[in-house]
Amino acid sequence: MAHRITLIPGDGIGPEVSEAAQEVLAAAGVAVDWDVQTAGLEVARVGGNPLPDRVIDSVRTNRFALKGPCGTPIGGGFRSVNVSLRQALDLYANVRPVKSLPKVEPRFDVDLVIVRENTEGLYAGLELMIMPGVAQSIKLTTERCSRRIAEFAFRYAEGHGRPRVTVVHKANIMKISDGLALEVTRKVATEHPTIELKEMIVDAAAMMMVKNPNSLGVLVTENLYGDILSDLGAGTVGGLGFVPGANIGDDAAVFEAVHGTAPDIAGKGIANPTAIVQSAVMMLHHLGERAAADAIEKSILQQYDERKVVTRDIGGSASTKEFTAELCRLVRLHREA
């Protein structure tokens, strides 16, 4: 029986890398009935709304979505498609595994996971102009959202064999808001005695992610800190083009490439589809398609280790289609092994 999954190709290189992910899943033997839904800058130019209700309805119905990058204007225009989608579907947990690939610079040995609260904090969008020249942004922290993201992080650690959760905060300065989140996480930790809880101020955590990242385990944090630390983590393993991401709620999950739309190379056929393929692997694990997920993971590691067919961003000469064809070949071999 085929899985019914929403596909949001996105803008720029999104359609190209999304097509690559579809081909890889097919090579892995996963039957998917794709419900293709357009969103982003191009959709906004035509209809005025970058995230039509039909997209939200599709994800709500299908419960799973694979998403390419969507463009967002800076300093004006419409609100981020990513933020709007997360809030509309209450996708409260942003999960970003950060793991090194073979022979990708910089060659840190990194294996950690960042779990970021996705629905409140400064990203709640509570802003106002108090008077001319004075703007205010309100950081929203609730006990309910702090508890559920902490519980998610501890369950993730237990389910993935990770012995430690590190809560990242700035409670030394924001004693009420971050203090609440920290206190709630401490309470949740008592309900998961097999997992060690570490506490770390966000600036110290940033340093530790470069100095000794694997000591952190699963990081759990509020929205803004998690956003920044996620990109820092990506930088330690080569950049946003190599890391997957997921936004997970109780009733739906969206798996996405977290890099930008790269309009400078869109349509040239040279984009690296690794991020969205790895996001699709996360989705397969969520769907229970573990054999297919393992075959793709092994194939990615082999392709990067051999470096015979890799894209230009990591020193190769392969096009997106050539990279994808080689990955599909390896996936079929691993399936048969």
The set of catalytic residues is 123, 170, 203, 227
Q: Calculate Rg over the CA atoms of the chain.
A: 20
Q: Residue 114 phi/psi, 5° resolution?
A: -105, 125
Task: Tell how far CA 192 is from the center of its chain.
Answer: 25
User: Could you give the C-alpha distances from 242 to 19, 85, 144, in angstroms and in order?
Assistant: 17, 23, 33
Helices (H), the chain: 14-27, 41-47, 53-62, 81-88, 143-159, 177-190, 202-211, 223-236, 274-287, 290-306, 320-336
- How far, in Å, CA of 163 to CA of 273, rounded? 31
Q: Which tokens go with 140?
A: 């929203």
End-to-end Cα, the chain, rounded Å? 24
- 3 strand-pairing partners: 32
- CB count within 10 Å of CB 19 equals 18
- How far, in Å, CA of 13 to CA of 320, rounded? 10
What's the longest Cα–Cα distance across the chain? 67
Residue 2 near residue 32 (C-beta atoms within 8 A): yes
- 246 strand-pairing partners: 95, 255
